Structure 1
Amino acid sequence: MVKALQNDISPSIANVICIAFAFIYVAGFYLFRDANSAKLSRNHPTVIRNRIKAVTFASIVSPLIVWFIVPSHSTNHSIFQILGLSLPYSVPGLIGLTGPVLLTAILFLGPLVQLYFEENLLFQTNFDFRRDVKDVFFSLLGQRNYVVAPVTEEFVFRSCMIAVLYQAGLPTTYLVFVSPMYFGLAHLHHAWENYNQWGANIKVLKLVLLSSLFQFCYTTIFGWYVSFAFLRLGSIWSPILCHSFCNIMGFPDVSDIQLQPPIKRAVIMCSFVMGVILFYWLLYPLTNPSNVGGSLYWPASA
């Protein structure tokens, strides 16, 4: 386990650094664009390429700042361990990293059962490998949504921020419930983009504010979960996989449930409830630090 907290930096300075991480990540979207792409949609290939450059830059600068602030000699751990990049040396440890992913799938039990009844799951009738996998994951949009965004966002907003906040001696509750707010706030820049692209009027403003509030709440709650998983397992790989899985599933759409026969509809609704219950019951067992041989960030007695 890691030595006692060093408190080399104050909590206020640590939070300022986290704000800087968020600023570097978002500011790059505007620095790495040209005049021709300023009015293009965020899903335009040119915009996606520019933003991939931006987040790659942020993912290089942020860990360098962590390396400077949290020297490995003060914790007896390498910078790779501090950032959660190291992998367990044993097969059981590697399997243990999949616990949060399984937990996330359990939370999505309702949507998965719905997809099953619609025969849209892997190897079912309506599933087409080329259409649903190859054309999606190997497209520029798919690479952004399912690879680049999960990797860079979790690395900057989870690994780098928690490493700095932890060094400042902030409690676990702060790391779990407060640090993800930076992740939620960083998504608010979409509001300005949507406001201008959707018409820039009062009606659009109300719609944008409501949409941004929902996104802030959703991303913050998700951040609570993956921050908890990161601290419990001391690895960023689990949050990355969970983030990618959530992006694949999207926010649950319950509108099509009414199209199912009564019995299937009841099963789907029960699955939504059961998924939440099982998630609560299995949260600690599937994120137990002993599953991966211990965590740098979670005391053995906790």
Structure 2
Amino acid sequence: MQRLGLSPDVLCTVQQSALGVCYMATLFLGPLVVSAMATHRAGMGFVKALRSSLADWRLRFTHPSLRYHSVRNYVWAPLSEEIVFRGCVTALLTAGDGGPSRWRCALLAPLLFGVAHLHHYFSRVSEGTPAGRARVETVVQLAYTWLFGFLAFLLLFGAGLPAAVGGHVFCNTMGLPDLSFLSKEGGYYSDLHGLRHGLLLAYVAGVVLFVIAMRRLTSDFGDDAEWWPRSRG
């Protein structure tokens, strides 16, 4: 369990999961600010917005047509993918002496996760998608899965596998950023076009805070990953 970044301590697991969520929230500062501004523009207070959000989540897990996808996206996929492609793969990469450094492992593990999605190319072609378009979509998916696979570093620097799972769930919840506020009309957030400069600043601030938090995490937790061979760096 230790090599998989797991702890028998329930409180520790909850704390690590919360750490992953809070860490990813810094990267999504821009989308969170956009959502908050849209809620304010709609005249919804905090309590009303919270109730609406909770009702939406309840619907996702209770409605017959939504239940399967919700369980897959927010429970099964984060747990299974993080255990296999973060926990097991990094444990294998770090087994013994003379292997790659922690940062190289953090880059290599998600690459293997991305490669595991290459079979979707053949699925797309068999469904009638042109080969050229299928290749582009597959490469984009590979890049996307690799980019978010950097959550491996939370495990490699001692924050634990639950932190990676928590971050994964948060990413799936937020989805891709909606930049429709950059357009004057036709987009979901087009009514926020007048605030686009401030909202873009929030996006930039989120990336900066994310990098700062990464440096802080690798500094604070680096020596706590007891299973990591010190000679490997």
TM normalised by structure 1 equals 0.63
The SS at the match of 1:252 is coil
Give 2:3's match in structure 1, choosing from 56, 62, 82. 82
User: How much does 1:221 deviate?
Assistant: 1.5
C-alpha spacing 1:261/1:119, structure 2 compared with 1 (3 Å) = closer
Deviations 1:165-215 (A, max 9, x none): 111431223311112111001122222222223x24xxx222221111111
Partner Cα separation in structure 2 for residue 97 and residue 284 of structure 1: 19
Give 1:173's match in structure 2, choosing from 68, 87, 103. 103
C-alpha spacing 1:287/1:101, structure 2 compared with 1 (3 Å) = farther
Q: Which amino acid aligns with 1:195?
A: V
The SS at the match of 2:226 is coil
Q: Which amino acid aligns with 2:76?
A: V
Q: Which amino acid aligns with 1:230?
A: L
Q: Report the counterpart of residue 205 of structure 2 in structure 1.
A: 274
Q: Report the counterpart of residue 98 of structure 1 in structure 2.
A: 18
Identify which of structures 1 and 2 has the higher relative contact order when contacts are C-alpha pairs closer than 8 Å and 6+ apart. 2
Question: Structure 2: any 5+ residue segments left out of the alignment?
Answer: 184-189
Q: Report the counterpart of residue 85 of structure 2 in structure 1.
A: 157
Partner Cα separation in structure 2 for residue 289 and residue 125 of structure 1: 35
2:34 aligned with 1:114, yes or no? yes
The SS at the match of 1:119 is helix
Q: Which amino acid aligns with 2:146?
A: T
C-alpha spacing 1:131/1:94, structure 2 compared with 1 (3 Å) = closer
C-alpha spacing 1:126/1:165, structure 2 compared with 1 (3 Å) = closer
User: How much does 1:274 deviate?
Assistant: 0.5
User: How much does 1:110 deviate?
Assistant: 0.8
Instruction: Please say if residues 232 and 295 of structure 1, whose CA atoms lie closer than 8 Å, have aligned partners that are also in contact.
Output: yes
C-alpha spacing 1:220/1:261, structure 2 compared with 1 (3 Å) = closer
Q: Which amino acid aligns with 1:221?
A: L
Partner Cα separation in structure 1 for residue 2 and residue 50 of structure 2: 43
Partner Cα separation in structure 2 for residue 221 and residue 110 of structure 1: 18
Alignment identity in percent?
31
Partner Cα separation in structure 2 for residue 125 and residue 228 of structure 1: 34
2:183 aligned with 1:240, yes or no? no
Q: Report the counterpart of residue 136 of structure 1 in structure 2.
A: 60
Deviations 1:27-61 (A, max 9, x none): xxxxxxxxxxxxxxxxxxxxxxxxxxxxxxxxxxx
2:142 aligned with 1:216, yes or no? yes
The SS at the match of 2:32 is helix
Partner Cα separation in structure 2 for residue 287 and residue 101 of structure 1: 16
Instruction: Please say if residues 157 and 221 of structure 2, whose CA atoms lie closer than 8 Å, have aligned partners that are also in contact.
Output: no
The SS at the match of 2:142 is helix
User: How much does 1:100 deviate?
Assistant: 3.1
C-alpha spacing 1:124/1:115, structure 2 compared with 1 (3 Å) = farther
Number of aligned residue pairs:
216
Question: Structure 1: any 5+ residue segments left out of the alignment?
Answer: 1-79
Q: Which amino acid aligns with 1:281?
A: I
Q: Which amino acid aligns with 1:187?
A: H
Instruction: Please say if residues 97 and 233 of structure 1, whose CA atoms lie closer than 8 Å, have aligned partners that are also in contact.
Output: no
Instruction: Please say if residues 83 and 236 of structure 1, whose CA atoms lie closer than 8 Å, have aligned partners that are also in contact.
Output: yes
Instruction: Please say if residues 103 and 153 of structure 2, whose CA atoms lie closer than 8 Å, have aligned partners that are also in contact.
Output: no
- Structure with higher helix content: 2
Instruction: Please say if residues 181 and 192 of structure 2, whose CA atoms lie closer than 8 Å, have aligned partners that are also in contact.
Output: no
The SS at the match of 2:2 is helix
Q: Report the counterpart of residue 14 of structure 1 in structure 2.
A: none
